[in-house]
Structure 1
Amino acid sequence: MDGVLSDLAKRVADRWFAFLVLPGVPFTAIVIVAWAMGPAGAGHALDLDFLVRRLDTLGTTARTARGAVIGCLLVAGVTVVALLVRELSLVVNRLWLGTSAVLCRIMRPGVRRRRRLALEEARRGAYAIPERYLPHRATWIGDRFALVDERIAAQYGVSLSRAWPRLWQLRDDRITKVVSAAWDDYAAATVRVAWAVPYLAVSFYWWPACPVALALALLGWAQGRRAADDFCLSCEAAVDVQIRRLAHVVGVPLPRRRVTATEGRRIDGILAKGAFLPRPDESPPPGV
């Protein structure tokens, strides 16, 4: 699933207007207000009368050559910030994946708690939960993405990172819309959290920007959890719907009219282009 996410993360650049330009407009307004309110000091950061007087002064300055230069510099600065936010969104995504060894050590108590809760839920539901399905990453979102890999491998014996590019080629319009919408929602969440950083930087000059940064971070985190779950469900559903077509395309017969782990390992071996390395307790797929 990590490989799928790395490939889809590039789509943030394709949605630059919705993800970067539009959020840059309110950020520009906040920067202007912070610049205007700076001389008032922290105690008068919400003084509307002072803000109106300062904006009148800035409006007069904006009509001069000096104001034009300042305006150009402001637009250039916000553009640079938007580009930095794009890169920060990729960092947010990596942090949410929870694969960093350092982050795993820091979040170890949280991982143990999620494992305990998962086992308690399984006992209440009177069902067994395999060890490979238990949380092991530093974050809930990372565990949710990892679970898709494990479930696909357990059910079909196929590596999702190898199968997904081929399944994406076989997709129909309905699958494309569902998966793309879920991914766009997740990507928007990473960008929203990333925008909290420049707002936090502005708060050192004008403190009311700090609650805005906190709200963006919390809303983005909540949106990210919800979107990650939707994205994982849509990806898993896409595999369930298309896996038989993939078997037909690569020439693997289905004697049971469905893909079992046996056929899945044959598909995986074909997709691996001869790089299949069997475990000690199994033989390589036929034809590899």
Structure 2
Amino acid sequence: MNTFLAELGKKVAERWLSLLVLPGTLYLAVAAAGATVLRHGDWYDLGMLANHVNRIAARRRGAGQVVLASAALLLGSAGVGLVAQSVGSGVARLWLATGRGPVGRRLTEQRRRNWQKAHQAYRRVLLERYRRQQGWGEAGDSDPLPDSARLLVLRNRICLVEPDRPTWIADRMRAAGERVHQAYDLDLTAAWPRLWLCMPEASRAEIATAQVAFTSACRLAGWGLLYVVLAVWWWPATVIAGAIMGTAWQRGRAATAVLAELVESAVDLYGRDLAQALGLACPDAFTPDHRAALTRMLRKGV
């Protein structure tokens, strides 16, 4: 037991160090160097920064002062890390927002128009290809058609279903539920907690890993927003913030894509197991009758 607790404490300490203290220490260093010493006018003057550090290092300090300064740095770094986590939670809500406000509605409408335009282009090519295959084409219809597969990819880059959210991330998660409903007539929101209990540990671990990756991307975006604050005193912090936010958005999209695919795959693989666990007899195929009965059962008449 003592060995287990020691190992658990070691892992917690490592996680605390990597998630809070190290990024927080870097942030405080940038804040001290850029916002306190360099400022806007001397943003590039590394020589002045080096002289400032040398003056601080030359001051004589007792052991107590060193301990107190180290403790203050450690606590300050952890505190900034906790703030970044809180901001990251807000970023997650923003990325997954339904967008019912005026700005969200405008963004949603723009995404919907882009998707409909791409969808119409894809449909036109499919209809023209079918028309030619049926021999309904005219004499001048010898020009090669655009690549329908490429047009489908362009449409799906916007969203797999018609958009109804202001961000790609929110729509990709919504699309998982829409696609499950279209394929199985199953309410994913009602089914997911029960489906989670039916899944093997390995499958749940894969989904949990994707969720952790998304949370990490949101936390990284939180750090990016904190660097925006430093730009008030040291403008190069905007460059740092832009790089961090861009990386966070790309990681968030990648994690969302993996998570949504895993959720859909879980329904594909374990939907029949869920029906059987709830007492529905489906030894061979998961038929539409089973799906409708399962949805009624999970919703409990609501």
Query: When the two structures are superposed, what TM-score results if normalisation uses the length of structure 2?
Result: 0.74
Bigger drift between 17-26 and 132-141 goes to: 17-26
Among residues 51, 54, 58, which one is paired with 2:52 in the alignment? 54
Counterpart residue identity of residue 231, structure 1: L
Structure 2 counterpart of 1:95: 94
Counterpart residue identity of residue 277, structure 2: V
Instruction: Indicate yes or no: 2:292 matched with 1:265.
Output: yes
CA distances 1:41-88 after superposition (whole Å, capped 9, x unpaired)? 423222121111111222345835666555544433332222222221
Counterpart residue identity of residue 271, structure 2: I
How far 1:119 sits from its partner (Å)?
Answer: 1.2
Structure 1 counterpart of 2:219: 191
Among residues 184, 189, 193, which one is paired with 1:165 in the alignment? 193
Mark the structure with the bigger radius of gyration: 2
After TM superposition, list the pairs within 5 Å mapping 1:123-272 onto structure 2.
123=123, 126=126, 133-254=161-282, 257-272=284-299
How far 1:126 sits from its partner (Å)?
Answer: 3.1
The 3-state SS of whatever aligns with 2:126 is: coil
**1:241/1:188 Cα in 2 relative to 1: closer, same or farther (>3 Å)?**
same
How far 1:248 sits from its partner (Å)?
Answer: 0.8
Counterpart residue identity of residue 56, structure 1: N
How far 1:117 sits from its partner (Å)?
Answer: 4.3
C-alpha separation in 2, matches of 1:210 and 1:62 = 36
How far 1:26 sits from its partner (Å)?
Answer: 2.3
Counterpart residue identity of residue 110, structure 1: Q
TM-align CA RMSD: 2.8
C-alpha separation in 1, matches of 2:96 and 2:121 = 23
How far 1:186 sits from its partner (Å)?
Answer: 1.4
Counterpart residue identity of residue 30, structure 2: I
Q: Gapped runs of 5+ residues in structure 2? A: 1-14, 128-151
How far 1:231 sits from its partner (Å)?
Answer: 1.0
C-alpha separation in 1, matches of 2:68 and 2:167 = 45
Matched residues, percent identical? 28
Asked if the contact 2:19/2:81 (under 8 Å) is kept, the reply is: no
Bigger drift between 213-222 and 60-69 goes to: 60-69
Aligned residues: 256
Bigger drift between 62-71 and 86-95 goes to: 62-71
Query: When the two structures are superposed, what TM-score results if normalisation uses the length of structure 1?
Result: 0.78
How far 1:97 sits from its partner (Å)?
Answer: 1.4
How far 1:249 sits from its partner (Å)?
Answer: 0.4
**1:199/1:248 Cα in 2 relative to 1: closer, same or farther (>3 Å)?**
same
